[in-house]
A and B are shown apart, each in its own frame.
Chain A
Amino acid sequence: MRVRAFAKRNMKELLRDPLTLFFGLGFPLALLLLMTVIQRNVPVSIFELDTLAPGIALFGLTFMALFSGMLLAKDRSSAFLARLAASPMTAADFLLGYLLPLLPMAVGQSVICMAAAVALGLPLSWNLLAVVASLIPSALLFIALGLLCGTLFNDKQVGGMCGALLTNVTAFLAGIWFDLSLIGGGFKTFAYLLPFAHGADGARAALAGNWAALPGHLLWVSVWAAAVLALAIVLFRGRLVER
């Protein structure tokens, strides 16, 4: 009941902010369109839709970290959170309340991104649904990263970390713009220790129907997501009550 009431509030706050809709939906679509146009005008294969679209869908999810982090950081800087902290809400209630409304937004964003890719020429297939499903652990990961940042930093810092740093880190370490094997070595090894490349590879495997490769990628991202969320809850619990 408490989580539902708080999640409803967060959903309304997010949907009533036009910047959320612009960055959440518009920016990934603009990137997809831009890269597709570039691909059509160069003689070599660099941004093919079957690798680009799942990557852009993952990249779009980085904005979920920005939304969750900003919302939490703004609440923390105001007396509104103090009021709620004096209510029977627990740290888990709070973070689930922030997470739950963002999850359907993330799924919706992935659906729109893949639908746009189809409109640009990606063949329509049932595997597109698997792509959307495979991105759910990544969505959870980015929301949890935002909650972790929102717990630790103020809204300006969250804007810098989740809006600039995380988007760029994800773009490079997930291999969205280039194949990680092109660099290889320590960079590639490091990238695959992190969850971002697994998130992108999982979505690409789902699109290609490469079901054998999918569980390994999803498990890696899921473990990271669970660990980051657990850390966010523990740290947020510490911030709720001043000692």
Chain B
Amino acid sequence: MNAIQIMGLTKEYGNRRVVDRLELSIPAGELFALLGVNGAGKSTTIKMLSCLTVPTEGDAQLMGHSVRTQSHQAKEILAVSPQETAVAPGLTVAENLELMAGIYGRSKERVTQVMEQLGLTQWAKQRAKTLSGGWQRRLSIAMALVSQPEVLFLDEPTLGLDVLARRELWGVIRGLKGHTTIILTTHYLEEAESLAERIGIMNAGRLRAVGTAQELKALAGCDNFEDAFVALAGEEAAS
């Protein structure tokens, strides 16, 4: 079964088309990475899929719920970890998670479970604003997981983190594979290559290529993924 079905999804701001007739199917449990340069349309796509922006044309279904006409039902089963760290700074780690649990009607046991899952238990009583960037990101992802979402959007989850913090977070994201359908947007090619089952390359609002890292390298006729990305995103965009 496809957890995410995208059908001609388009977004225009005035005369500028930032996402152009996107077509994509993502099976349940898959971790799909959206790659692209700045302004490629990744974040706008995530915003449309998470019901934060209304598409100009087309539609998408999350577990069968249309983001256009059934956004309330879609919102019950999705969660977002936005590009910027999205935590309540004055609340402790546990309080942030309890807030999200309360909004989605989840129990306090679920909060404990997620804190253990993401290694946050030791920071439970610490205010979010006093955590390091890496731990704030981890908390931000934990807040998205409390509701046990069927579809999870991770928008640039490791942006600005050092190598160690990024690798730690990769471990967390790997742990989610198979249980939750994930769309991850990133600028880091190695992140997509390491984590995702399939990768989509966006440029100028269009999905230029979709496949596994191996398939994309073969498609571009390159030995390494960076060259493949440059070839697929750059050449297609220029054409």
A residues at B contact (CB < 8 Å)? 1-2, 4-6, 8-9, 12-13, 16-17, 78-80, 82-89, 241-243
Contact residues in A for B105 (Cβ distance below 8 Å): 1
Interface size of B in residues (CB-CB distance below 8 Å): 36
B residues at A contact (CB < 8 Å)? 47, 50-54, 71-72, 75-76, 78-88, 90-91, 95, 98-105, 140, 143-144, 147
Contact partner of A79 (CB less than 8 A), chosen from B54, B75, B79, B84, is B84
Instruction: Give Cα A156 to B47, complex, Å.
Output: 26
Closest residue of A by beta carbon distance from B51? A86
Contact residues in B for A84 (Cβ distance below 8 Å): 103
Would A9 and B88 count as touching, CB distance under 8 A?
Answer: yes
Contact residues in B for A79 (Cβ distance below 8 Å): 82-86
Would B51 and A241 count as touching, CB distance under 8 A?
Answer: yes
Instruction: Give Cα A1 to B99, complex, Å.
Output: 10
Would B79 and A86 count as touching, CB distance under 8 A?
Answer: yes
Would A1 and B79 count as touching, CB distance under 8 A?
Answer: no
Contact residues in A for B54 (Cβ distance below 8 Å): 241-243
Instruction: Give Cα A126 to B140, complex, Å.
Output: 50
Min CB gap B125→A, angstroms: 13
Known contacts A12-B90, A17-B90, A83 near B104 by CB under 8 Å: no
Instruction: Give Cα A242 to B56, complex, Å.
Output: 11
Contact residues in B for A5 (Cβ distance below 8 Å): 98-99, 101-103
Would B87 and A80 count as touching, CB distance under 8 A?
Answer: yes
Would B91 and A12 count as touching, CB distance under 8 A?
Answer: yes
Contact residues in A for B83 (Cβ distance below 8 Å): 79
Known contacts A79-B84, A241-B53, A242-B52, A87 near B90 by CB under 8 Å: no
For the A-B complex, the count of residue pairs with Cβ-Cβ distances under 8 Å equals: 81
Contact residues in B for A8 (Cβ distance below 8 Å): 99, 102
Selected A-B contacts with CB under 8 Å, 29 pairs: A1-B105, A4-B102, A5-B101, A5-B102, A5-B103, A8-B99, A8-B102, A9-B95, A9-B99, A13-B88, A13-B91, A79-B83, A79-B85, A80-B86, A80-B88, A82-B86, A83-B80, A83-B81, A83-B144, A86-B51, A87-B79, A87-B100, A87-B104, A88-B72, A88-B104, A241-B52, A242-B53, A243-B53, A243-B54
Instruction: Give Cα A173 to B51, complex, Å.
Output: 43
Query: Do most interface residues of chain B lie in helix, strand or loop, or is the interface mixed?
Result: mixed
Contact residues in A for B147 (Cβ distance below 8 Å): 87
Closest residue of B by beta carbon distance from A4? B102
Would B99 and A83 count as touching, CB distance under 8 A?
Answer: no
Instruction: Give Cα A186 to B78, complex, Å.
Output: 56
Min CB gap B107→A, angstroms: 12
Min CB gap A15→B, angstroms: 9
Min CB gap A56→B, angstroms: 29
Would A6 and B104 count as touching, CB distance under 8 A?
Answer: no
* Sample of 8 further A-B pairs with CB below 8 A, known A1-B102, A88-B75, A241-B53: A5-B101, A79-B82, A79-B86, A84-B103, A86-B75, A87-B100, A87-B104, A242-B52
Instruction: Give Cα A88 to B74, complex, Å.
Output: 9
Identify the interface centre among A9, A86, A243: most chain B CB within 10 Å of its CB: A86
Would B76 and A6 count as touching, CB distance under 8 A?
Answer: no
Instruction: Give Cα A86 to B78, complex, Å.
Output: 8
Contact residues in A for B88 (Cβ distance below 8 Å): 9, 13, 80
Min CB gap B44→A, angstroms: 9
Known contacts A88-B104, A242-B47, A9 near B82 by CB under 8 Å: no
Instruction: Give Cα A243 to B50, complex, Å.
Output: 13
Instruction: Give Cα A116 to B152, complex, Å.
Output: 53
Closest residue of A by beta carbon distance from B98? A5
Would A82 and B82 count as touching, CB distance under 8 A?
Answer: yes
Instruction: Give Cα A83 to B78, complex, Å.
Output: 11
Would A87 and B75 count as touching, CB distance under 8 A?
Answer: yes
Contact partner of B86 (CB less than 8 A), chosen from A16, A78, A89, is A78
Would B52 and A6 count as touching, CB distance under 8 A?
Answer: no
Instruction: Give Cα A12 to B87, complex, Å.
Output: 14
